[in-house]
Structure 1
Amino acid sequence: MRNARTKNIIFLLLWNILLITLVLLIQGKSFGQYYNPPTTWSSLLKNWSVNLNGGRTSFFGDVSVYDHEFEEKMRKDGSWGWGVEIGRKFTPVISLSVQFMMGQLAGSNSKSHFTSDIQEVSFNGSLDLLNMLIPGNDAGLHPYVKAGFGQFNFNSRLIYNDPDTPDLTAESKSPELIGLIGGGAYYYISNSFDINMELLGRRMSNDRIDGTNNSKHNDYYSYFSIGITFKINNVPRDTRYYKRMGMKSPLIRRR
């Protein structure tokens, strides 16, 4: 009697072990195919983005008045610009990008006013502050800080209020160095789109973009922009994608 009971227990244990093994094999096959590693090309395209932006430029230098009054500076002592930025998010915190920006600077004082056409190319890095402080959050609004460096060209014209004083022109003979620092915030709309607002200051290595050279400090300008970001290859894949990658099991349901 005891031997028969022992045999039944051993049989049940072996049967359960066999069932568990079969379940694990089926799950391993199905989910292993579902999580098939992406191709190199797909990985390279992941997390890239293109941002289109436009906004207000503000100049700070000899030919400017409202340097300490933000509202008046934006309304009376500035001009417009636009830009295109291509970037990639390497981690939830760190992103790198290349930006092309062009537009116009403008300024005035009691004796003269000037305008300047500018073209700028810069390489920038940004830190997502929310993801850095609270990893794994699901917030929609993310503040960030940003810094970089680049080169720019300008073509300026200084016009005096006195009609008897001839106008002055100044332009860059070659691309000049510029440093960028600032920050902003982006708002998550979907897996494909974000919108952002950003303010970056640009420090130049000269004091003649406004056509004058009367100060001990170099000129600088800011760019306050609003943009929309298209995130490339960032839409979650459905079952058909993984089937093309080699998945054969019909048991995996679509997201």
Structure 2
Amino acid sequence: MKLHLKKASLLASCLIIGGKLFAQTPDANLDTKNYVQPFSGGGSFRTWTIGVHGGLLTPYTIFGTNGRQDFRTPQSEIGYGGYIAKQFLPAFGLQADFLRGQVSGTNSQAAGLISEGSSFNTKLDWSAALKANFTLANINWFNRKGAIQPYLSAGAGYMGYKTTVTNNTPGAATVSTNGTNKEWFVPVGLGFKFNVASGVNIDLGYQVNFVQADNFDGVNAGTTNDRFSYAHIGLEFALGSSKKPQLSAYNPVNSMRTEYLWKAQQLQAQVDAEKAKNAELQRGLEETNANVAKLTVDSDGDGVIDLNDKCPNTPSGTKVDGSGCPLAKPVVVVTEEDRRVVRDAIANLEFDLGKATIRDKSFPSLDRVARLLVDKNFSLKLAGHTDNTGSKDLNMRLSKDRAEAVKTYLVEKGANPSRIEATGYGQTQPIASNKTAAGRQQNRRVEFTLY
């Protein structure tokens, strides 16, 4: 009994120590080390593992009534073994298992065969089994380490054993089997695997072995086959490159979560980069607009922008030259030849019908007026007029546009824009009757006043 308690205490201590080793750490940051994208092929994982384990063997099991077995008082003995496993899916793998040890019990109730209180000891020389392992879950949703995999296993095996029965009847001899018995058995188990490092797991399991015979304990009585259990703790090691994760510890759901968070981080980084880029472009645009504004500012309103104005803050209405400086008032003498040039320009001035577009035939005479303005620094007033055809507003706008068109042309030829005034009068100042075509033709005009 004391030996039994000592063994149970040892197993409990192992469980406590193991629990401290596989304590989970919160996943504070997204970890993509050894990350495998969802739905990747088997070549991205470590699928082969080997393991060693040790524990307690006993005829006591969690199935059925132990009082109906051939020996009612089970003993605990040491067992040990190893295995090699191949994982095909995160939830399914095959395992080739090996186990050795002893199974014993006392207090026989096989009345008529041996006396009550007798005992047995079965030495399990070897056992080999092929089992299917089913991983029920992979608990590491928010944790990158310390995952837990509960599992179930079932399979078939073959074993060789020798049994010794000690009869409690006075004078009765100890009975041993002749040679090694060989029988089939069915292992059914459950357990937990704890990931304590990359490719290293602690394996805690419990397995019931259903022997396909009734002579495992040396007594063949009743109709129930013998069985025994094995509670163990062990270490499992993944084979292959340490850069690959272990398939049995792979959580597809967590992988999809990691993929989502990773893509979200990348997308957010792209958005932030675009925002920074747009902000930089906006600052550049504002600086450009500010520089452009400087090129168009005319603070004193003299028609010369500040950038080129050598005489800033000239009084309003002051006539200035191209540098923005006040013009000296020269004595202006308009000769008869000058007036002839202007009359000729008026006579040859034509526009497209209903538009302010000057026709090409008008350009030579306008060029002579432009040279006159440049050479003698004359001032010129342009007054646009129309007949009464159309609305008053339309005629006013058309007369102003035509006068401005003539001014624009003369300025392009070198004339000083500050010395040219363009005004539109519409149909308000006719010089002939609008009732006749000839009169309306005379009223459609741009008058040049040279001074």
TM-score by length of 1: 0.66
Question: Which segment drifts farther, 80-89 or 228-237?
Answer: 228-237
Quote the residue 1:170 is aligned against. Answer: 177
Asked if 1:157 corresponds to 2:164, the answer is: yes
**Which structure shows the bigger proportion of residues in strand conformation?**
1
Q: Distance in 2 between matches of 1:157 and 1:44?
A: 51
Q: Which consecutive residues of structure 2, in runs of 5 or more, have no partner in the other structure?
A: 1-35, 37-41, 61-67, 108-115, 245-451
Q: What is the CA-CA distance between 1:155 and the residue it aligns to?
A: 0.2
Q: Is the 8 A contact 2:147 2:194 kept in 1?
A: yes
- Sequence identity (%): 22
CA pair 116-53 structure 1, distance change in 2 beyond 3 A: same
Q: What is the CA-CA distance between 1:134 and the residue it aligns to?
A: 9.2
CA RMSD of aligned residues (A): 2.8
CA pair 171-86 structure 1, distance change in 2 beyond 3 A: farther
Q: What is the CA-CA distance between 1:46 and the residue it aligns to?
A: 3.4
Quote the residue 2:12 is aligned against. Answer: none
Q: What is the CA-CA distance between 1:92 and the residue it aligns to?
A: 0.8
SS of match in other structure, 2:137? helix
SS of match in other structure, 1:142? strand
Higher relative contact order (CA 8 A, sep 6+): 1
Q: How does 1:72-83 map to 2 (within 5 A)?
A: 77-83=75-81
Quote the residue 1:114 is aligned against. Answer: 120
Q: How many residues align?
A: 187
Residues 161-196 of structure 1, C-alpha deviation per residue, up to 9 Å, x if partnerless?
224112222267563111011210000112220001
Amino acid aligned to 2:149: H
Quote the residue 2:222 is aligned against. Answer: 215
SS of match in other structure, 1:235? coil
Residues 97-146 of structure 1, C-alpha deviation per residue, up to 9 Å, x if partnerless?
10110111111114201111112100011111014x99998561111011
**Which structure shows the bigger proportion of residues in helix conformation?**
2
Q: Distance in 2 between matches of 1:171 and 1:136?
A: 58
Residues 202-230 of structure 1, C-alpha deviation per residue, up to 9 Å, x if partnerless?
00111111111112100000111000001
Q: Distance in 2 between matches of 1:126 and 1:226?
A: 17
Q: Distance in 1 between matches of 2:92 and 2:98?
A: 20
Quote the residue 2:85 is aligned against. Answer: 87
Asked if 1:192 corresponds to 2:190, the answer is: no
- Structure of higher CA gyration radius: 2
SS of match in other structure, 1:121? strand
Q: What is the CA-CA distance between 1:44 and the residue it aligns to?
A: 11
Quote the residue 1:54 is aligned against. Answer: 54
SS of match in other structure, 1:184? strand
Q: How does 1:1-255 map to 2 (within 5 A)?
A: 43=43, 46-60=46-60, 62-66=69-73, 77-109=75-107, 110-118=116-124, 119-131=126-138, 140-170=147-177, 175-236=182-243
Q: Distance in 1 between matches of 2:44 and 2:81?
A: 24
